[in-house]
Structure 1
Amino acid sequence: MKKIVIIGNGIAGVTLAQQVRRLSNHSLLIISSETDYFFSRTALMYVYMGHLRADQLKPVEDWYWPENQIELKRDYVMQVNTTQKQLQLQSGETISYDILVIASGSKSNTFNWPGQNLAGVQGLYSWQDLETMEAITPKVKRAIVVGGGLIGIELTEMFLSRCIPVTFLVREKSFWSSVLPAEESAMVTRHIQSHHVDLRLETELAEILPDEAGQVRAVRTKKGEEIAGEFVGLAVGVHPNIDFLKNSGIALDKGVLVNAFFETNVPDVYAIGDCAQYVNPPTGRKPVEPLWYAGRQHGEALAHNLCGQKTPYQPGVWFNSAKFFDIEYQVYGEVNREPQPDEAHLYWEHPKGKKSIRICYDKASNRVKGFNLMGIRYRHDVCARWIKSNTPIQEVLKNLRQANFDPEFFKRYEPELLRQYNQLHPSAPITANKVKKLFGLK
């Protein structure tokens, strides 16, 4: 039996601990300075909005940890001594380990803007960020959100739920156009504006201005505009939380450098989740993947490696999801902003502009490469199977209703996509296969 110490109680570290416990009797200790217990980070916004209580963010009950012999420690790791296999904690305690797993997550980005350290300026990542935001809210007459990504839209929705107006600064010509194709980006842009958000496109932050008490009072843009506000939310991405690992001997770049087994350059030291950086990324993946889904997969994969089932990490088909106010977004596989020379995109959008389906496929082989869904839910397993098995677009369209995850009596839009395909290919039209209902009834 070995002593496994995990730094970080996010989805990666906790998934690892749970899976190791399922597979072995190794000693397990999770250290976190953020909270006593694992919580659902993706649901922080719903506590602020009043949809959930703080205690409802805990995916498992408190008794689970002692019952499964997983020790939890609330403390901050100050230093890692890989020679002696010891951790020095802020409390003064020294912890020894046989195996160390770094799952320390991310920190919000800042870009050395003048005034970025003023009271009332922050990101949204940690539990402490939520507490700080809650404390300052009574003083906020207008919030300013900087950055056109998923955290930016969450911050905007949070303040609107408290009837606080928001000015939203986005560098691009259209919201999240660095990720979304033009049509979906335009859809989300319209949707944000329909919620009475003061959306400033092609606008960048220059500096944050203080009042006499050292609180934020306004921002100045690179266009020279001054916008008053008592809160500035910085939503310009995240970076691996690895400052405490300097001088540890563990190889670092943007994150902790790991191979396909999540091994670092130091024996018995591993890294997973947001803080890990692949030396050789899996095909189609970025070196750092700050995603909830990736963190969970990392934890599952490393658990098997630590318990005698050593296999390289194989992430499978890419998947992500989000929500832009009430428009749900899902992406499966590879969907580029613009079709590559060897690709074609089949795109349908509802006349009301709040639902769309996009299928990316290879021109030569017709194999499906990816799906983008807006306002429509598709089944993960079905889409992933089609992509993984190189299913032709024609076969996918014939059976597309199999993927639809919306409730039974919701309107189906797959016939619209099929009709559109047939208009583009009149010489070889296709017909949808019939879908069997429950108990074999049609």
Structure 2
Amino acid sequence: MQKIVIIGNGVAGITAARNIRKLSNDQITVISGETDHFFSRTALMYIYMGHMKYENTKPYEDWFWGENNIDLKRAWVQSIDFDKKEIRFDGSETMAYDKLILATGSQSNKFGWPGQDLDGVQGLYSYQDLELMEKNTQNVDRAVILGGGLIGVEMAEMLHSRHIPVTYLIREEHFWGNMLPKEEATLIDNHLAKHGIDLRQETELEEILDDGNGKVKGIKTKSGEIIDCQFVGLTVGVHPNIDLIKKSKVEVDRGILVDENLQTNIPDVYAIGDCAQLKNAPSHRRPIEAVWYVGRMMGEAVARTVTGQPTKYQPGIWFNSAKFFDIEYQNYGVVLPECPEDSASFYWECDDKEKCIKIIYKKETLEVRGVNLFGIRNRHEVWDKWLSEKRPLDYIISNLPEANFDPEFYKHWEGEIQKKFNGEFPDQQVSVRKKGFLEKIFA
């Protein structure tokens, strides 16, 4: 029986622990200094907003770990001796391992702005960040958020739920402009404005201002504008948390470098989740992908490898999902901010300006490469199948009802989407689905 130690109790580390237990009787220890138990990191915002309590974010009861013979240790690791296969904690305490899995996650980016370490300035990634935000936003008259990404919009919604006015600075022309095409980005710009968010496009931070007592009192933009505020959210992305091994024998780049089996250059040492960087990523995926389902898939793969069944990490079609206040977003396949030269796009937007679909396809063959959906729910397994089978645009438009995942009493939009397609592609006509009784009622 071998001793397997996992550093990090996020979705990657815990998925690895659970699957190792399914496959073996090996001794398993999960180490984390953040919390006693695994929790859903994506639910942090709902604790702040009062929709959930911390205990509601734990997918497993506290007794689960003892019942499954998975040891949990609440501690911060200080160093690792890879020659001795030994982990060192504060003081003189150590722990030996036979195989080690690094699942240390991400940490918030900072770019050296003057004042970025003042009280009232923070990112949002860990449970400790949530506790700090609870403290920092007491009696706040205005907040400023920097960075047009998913964590930033979550923070904006959190503050909005407590009626704290928010000014949101983004460098790009539109929100999430480095990820979304112009039409979708504009739709989200307008949605944020509808919710009272003061969105400042193409605005960069110069410095964060000190009130003289080490606390933020405002910010100054590069154009010289002063915005008074008592809280600044730094949400300009995250990067792999590799501080623990940065100066060790483990090879690193932006993340911990791993091969297709998620093994580092050190025997019996693996890395998974946000902290891992694939040396040879598949052409349709990025070397570092800080999304929860990647951590889950890596955890499943590494569990088989460390228990004697070497398994390559083989991610399938890219997908992602998020929520922008009231608008749900789904992405399958590749949709870039600028359409590739060999491709074109089909775009439909609802009159309410809160629902749209964009499909990217190859010009010559009409093969679909990716889709963005806003305000319309579709089935993951259907889009995964269509993209894997390289289905053409006319086929997908004809069969859109098959993908719909909206509840029964929601209005469905496939008929309008199909009509627009027929108008743009007179030589590729598809059958327009007739409106049903419920659609007439809710139209």
TM-score by length of 2: 0.96
**Correspondence for 2:148:** 148
> Aligned partners of 1:304, 1:320: CA distance in 2, in Å?
25
Q: Deviations over 1:148-207 (max 9, x none)?
A: 111110111111111111111111111111101111100000010111111111101111
> Aligned partners of 1:432, 1:62: CA distance in 2, in Å?
52
Structure 1 unaligned residues grouped into runs of 5+: 436-442
Q: Contact conserved, 2:419 with 2:432, CA < 8 A, in 1? A: no
**Correspondence for 1:440:** none
**Correspondence for 1:345:** 345
TM-score by length of 1: 0.96
The residue type equivalent to 1:123 in the other structure is: G
Task: Flag the 1:91–1:30 CA change in 2: closer, same or farther, 3 A.
Answer: farther
**Correspondence for 2:171:** 171
Identity %: 53
SS in 2 for 1:308: coil
Q: Contact conserved, 1:79 with 1:248, CA < 8 A, in 2? A: no
Alignment pair present for 1:77 and 2:77: yes
Report matched runs for 1:283-298 at 5 Å: 283-298=283-298
Alignment pair present for 1:223 and 2:223: yes
Deviation at 1:7, TM superposition (A): 0.4
Q: Deviations over 1:222-259 (max 9, x none)?
A: 01111111111000000111111133211111110001
**Correspondence for 1:356:** 356
> Aligned partners of 1:315, 1:433: CA distance in 2, in Å?
35
> Aligned partners of 1:191, 1:246: CA distance in 2, in Å?
41
Q: Deviations over 1:380-408 (max 9, x none)?
A: 00000000111122221221101000012
Report matched runs for 1:414-429 at 5 Å: 414-429=414-429
The residue type equivalent to 1:244 in the other structure is: L
Q: Deviations over 1:92-121 (max 9, x none)?
A: 310100000000001100000011111111
> Aligned partners of 2:104, 2:137: CA distance in 1, in Å?
28
**Correspondence for 1:439:** none
Q: Contact conserved, 1:79 with 1:245, CA < 8 A, in 2? A: yes
Report matched runs for 1:13-28 at 5 Å: 13-28=13-28
**Correspondence for 1:310:** 310
SS in 2 for 1:180: coil
Q: Contact conserved, 1:261 with 1:305, CA < 8 A, in 2? A: yes
> Aligned partners of 2:223, 2:153: CA distance in 1, in Å?
23
Report matched runs for 1:18-417 at 5 Å: 18-417=18-417
Task: Flag the 1:56–1:169 CA change in 2: closer, same or farther, 3 A.
Answer: same
Mean Cα displacement is larger for which, 379-388 or 331-340? Answer: 331-340
Deviation above 2 Å: which 4+ runs of structure 1?
432-435
The residue type equivalent to 1:78 in the other structure is: Q
> Aligned partners of 2:56, 2:166: CA distance in 1, in Å?
28
The residue type equivalent to 2:205 in the other structure is: L
Q: Contact conserved, 2:327 with 2:354, CA < 8 A, in 1? A: yes
> Aligned partners of 2:52, 2:407: CA distance in 1, in Å?
24
SS in 2 for 1:397: helix
SS in 2 for 1:302: helix
> Aligned partners of 2:132, 2:210: CA distance in 1, in Å?
18
> Aligned partners of 2:194, 2:136: CA distance in 1, in Å?
27
> Aligned partners of 1:62, 1:139: CA distance in 2, in Å?
35
> Aligned partners of 2:98, 2:198: CA distance in 1, in Å?
53
**Correspondence for 1:6:** 6
Q: Deviations over 1:38-87 (max 9, x none)?
A: 01000100000000011111011001000001100000111011000000
**Correspondence for 1:438:** none
SS in 1 for 2:138: helix
The residue type equivalent to 1:396 in the other structure is: I
> Aligned partners of 1:3, 1:391: CA distance in 2, in Å?
47
> Aligned partners of 1:403, 1:273: CA distance in 2, in Å?
29
Q: Contact conserved, 2:349 with 2:356, CA < 8 A, in 1? A: yes
> Aligned partners of 1:204, 1:427: CA distance in 2, in Å?
47
The residue type equivalent to 1:221 in the other structure is: T
Q: Contact conserved, 1:399 with 1:433, CA < 8 A, in 2? A: no
The residue type equivalent to 1:365 in the other structure is: T
Deviation at 1:91, TM superposition (A): 4.9
Q: Contact conserved, 2:414 with 2:433, CA < 8 A, in 1? A: no
SS in 1 for 2:155: helix
Q: Contact conserved, 2:16 with 2:300, CA < 8 A, in 1? A: yes
> Aligned partners of 1:316, 1:341: CA distance in 2, in Å?
24
Q: Contact conserved, 1:209 with 1:217, CA < 8 A, in 2? A: yes
> Aligned partners of 2:402, 2:91: CA distance in 1, in Å?
55
Deviation at 1:433, TM superposition (A): 7.6
The residue type equivalent to 2:233 in the other structure is: G
> Aligned partners of 2:351, 2:91: CA distance in 1, in Å?
60
The residue type equivalent to 1:260 in the other structure is: E
> Aligned partners of 1:434, 1:309: CA distance in 2, in Å?
52
Aligned pairs, number:
436
Deviation at 1:344, TM superposition (A): 1.9
Give the RMSD, CA atoms, in angstroms.
1.5
Structure 2 unaligned residues grouped into runs of 5+: 436-443
SS in 2 for 1:232: strand
The residue type equivalent to 2:212 in the other structure is: E
SS in 2 for 1:138: coil
> Aligned partners of 1:199, 1:398: CA distance in 2, in Å?
38
Deviation at 1:21, TM superposition (A): 0.9
> Aligned partners of 2:282, 2:231: CA distance in 1, in Å?
40
> Aligned partners of 1:266, 1:242: CA distance in 2, in Å?
15
Q: Contact conserved, 1:399 with 1:432, CA < 8 A, in 2? A: no
> Aligned partners of 1:130, 1:251: CA distance in 2, in Å?
32
